[in-house]
Amino acid sequence: MRILILLFSTFIISFLPIPATDLQKVKKSKLIYESILKNGWLEEKRELGYKLGKMGEEAEPFILKLYDAESYWDRYAAITASSIYKSDKINERLVDSYLRDHMVEVESEQLLLSQTDSYTATLLEKWDTELREEPKKKILRLLAISKDPRAKEFIKAEIEDQKSKYRSSAFQWFCSKNDIKDNDYIRSKLADKVLRSFVLKYILETGDKKDKKLMLDVLSEESIGNTDFTYALGGVKKWGNFQEQEAEYTKTLQNTKHEESLKLYAILLFGEFRSEAIRDSLCGLAKNARDQSLRLTASEVLIPFQDVKNIECLKRISTEEYQTASKSFGFVDAVAMFATLGISNIMKGIQENRSRSSFLGRQTEIKKHLQFLELKIKE
């Protein structure tokens, strides 16, 4: 009896209507693929890529073909298709494009960043097979911002591995998430000499007034690196009171061990402060600093003092020709991120120090002030 029922069921099923065949999707996918190749407009290729991705599994062979296309516009269409349809093969090709195809690196990166969790497995597999250092760092960046537990476990393991050449990079990207859930773990690395700067940066970006003492303690250390110094001084700017800011500004200007880049940075942070000690330090920098951008900025900040004692300080910069910005001052560019913390004059000051036309305009204002002081002393 059971055999008869089974045979009858099979007979009935054989006559049921069959859903739209996969062949139709294959044909439509092929038409979209051919349209992408023929189309000469990037935006239209992009839209067609989305349509191709919506075709699903039947579109996979055509998406893979687009990844192999000579035209990077066609490869770009493959990436847009990959934002809709995902499979192990498609995910692998997308990650490969990010790591190796500089023509579509930005587009593939944007997709990976927007859907990082979806690619964690692929990224972990790539980590094991990739031998080159730079691609590995790019993989680390993506894994560090993934919320997938596997990625977080991997990144922490890399951080804890004292022998890993990627330890610093892993921790840097891990901190960049600014995830409050990781706060205690990140701060626990403050005593780690290799990772300390990243911790200070993280605290500066996510901390509060309770962290002011920490920043002041860092500044009081006998031996402090430039990067640690900039983050700690930024913390005083962010959370310190008037007396604390003025004191740290004065000490920075007077410290003969500090590099000139740090003094310029301090001026850009605290240039509105005025005292005789500050004026005297600025005067010395205006006359004797090796780098023109520091001499210019120090001279400029002296103007509001309206002090005739500054005449000798301003003479050198008032007669100089413009000099190309020193490469040694590239370090200051690294702290331009403080613009996002409400200290926008840093970025503005750095940019102004690198322009010939800006130099001439600022020099003219200094000359006018110098003439004013010389006239004032005659009275």
Question: Looking at 91, 114, 137, which one is the last position of a domain?
Answer: 114
Averaged pLDDT, 202-210: 94
Does residue 200 sit within a domain? no
Give one DSSP letter per residue of 206-266, joined into a string.
H--GGGHHHHHHHHT-SS--HHHHHHHHHHHHHH--HHHHHHHHHHHHH-TTS-HHHHHHH
pLDDT at residue number 18: 37
Distance from the Cα of residue 310 to its chain's centroid: 40
Does residue 3 sit within a domain? no
Q: Which of 291, 235, 302 is nearest to 259 (CA)?
A: 291
Joined together, the tokens standing for residue 347 give 């970025």
Does residue 226 sit within a domain? no
Does residue 67 sit within a domain? yes
Distance from the Cα of residue 323 to its chain's centroid: 29
pLDDT tens-digit readout, 142-178: 999 898 999 999 999 999 999 999 999 999 999 987 6
Domain of residue 366: give its range: 272-379
pLDDT at residue number 379: 72
The pLDDT of residue 322 is above 60: yes
Q: Which of 290, 287, 270, 258 is nearest to 349 (CA)?
A: 270
pLDDT at residue number 180: 79
- Count other C-beta atoms under 10 Å from residue 42's C-beta: 14
pLDDT range class, residue 346, cuts 50, 70, 90? low
> Rounded to whole angstroms, what are the CA distances from 128 to 45, 90, 138?
34, 18, 14
The pLDDT of residue 339 is above 70: no
Q: Give the separation between CA 12 and CA 332, rounded to whole angstroms.
A: 78
> Rounded to whole angstroms, what are the CA distances from 356 to 263, 304, 322, 353?
22, 23, 6, 8
| Chain mean pLDDT for the chain | 88
> Rounded to whole angstroms, what are the CA distances from 72 to 51, 78, 89, 106?
18, 10, 19, 12
- Count other C-beta atoms under 10 Å from residue 367's C-beta: 15
The pLDDT of residue 331 is above 70: no
Joined together, the tokens standing for residue 240 give 């310190």
Q: Is the dihedral of CA 96, 133, 161, 108 positive or negative?
A: negative
Question: Looking at 114, 141, 161, which one is the last position of a domain?
Answer: 114
Domain count, the chain: 2
Q: Which of 167, 100, 97, 90 is nearest to 121 (CA)?
A: 90
Joined together, the tokens standing for residue 166 give 């990627």
| Category of 324 on φ-ψ map: left (φ > 0), alpha (ψ -120 to 50) or beta | beta
Does residue 328 sit within a domain? yes
Does residue 33 sit within a domain? yes
Could you tell me which residues come within 8 angstroms of residue 347 by beta carbon, excluding any fewer than 6 positions away?
A: 336, 338, 339
Joined together, the tokens standing for residue 87 give 């499979």
Joined together, the tokens standing for residue 321 give 């020709």
pLDDT tens-digit readout, 257-288: 999 999 999 999 999 999 999 999 999 999 99
pLDDT range class, residue 377, cuts 50, 70, 90? confident
pLDDT at residue number 31: 95
Residues 230 and 203: beta-carbon distance below 8 Å: no
Please give the residue that has the higher pLDDT: either 184 or 356: 184
Averaged pLDDT, 331-356: 54
Does residue 360 sit within a domain? yes
Does residue 60 sit within a domain? yes
Identify residue 238 by its one-letter amino acid code.
K
Averaged pLDDT, 192-215: 95
Lowest mean pLDDT among 101-105, 175-179, 251-255: 175-179
pLDDT range class, residue 20, cuts 50, 70, 90? very low
pLDDT at residue number 329: 46
Question: Looking at 114, 141, 176, which one is the last position of a domain?
Answer: 114
Percent of the chain scoring above 70 in pLDDT: 86
pLDDT at residue number 218: 97
The pLDDT of residue 343 is above 80: no
Averaged pLDDT, 99-110: 94
pLDDT at residue number 222: 86
Could you tell me which residues come within 8 angstroms of residue 316 by beta carbon, excluding any fewer than 6 positions away?
A: 286, 287, 295
Give the three-class secondary structure for 303: helix
Q: Is the dihedral of CA 200, 205, 211, 217 positive or negative?
A: positive
- Count other C-beta atoms under 10 Å from residue 287's C-beta: 16
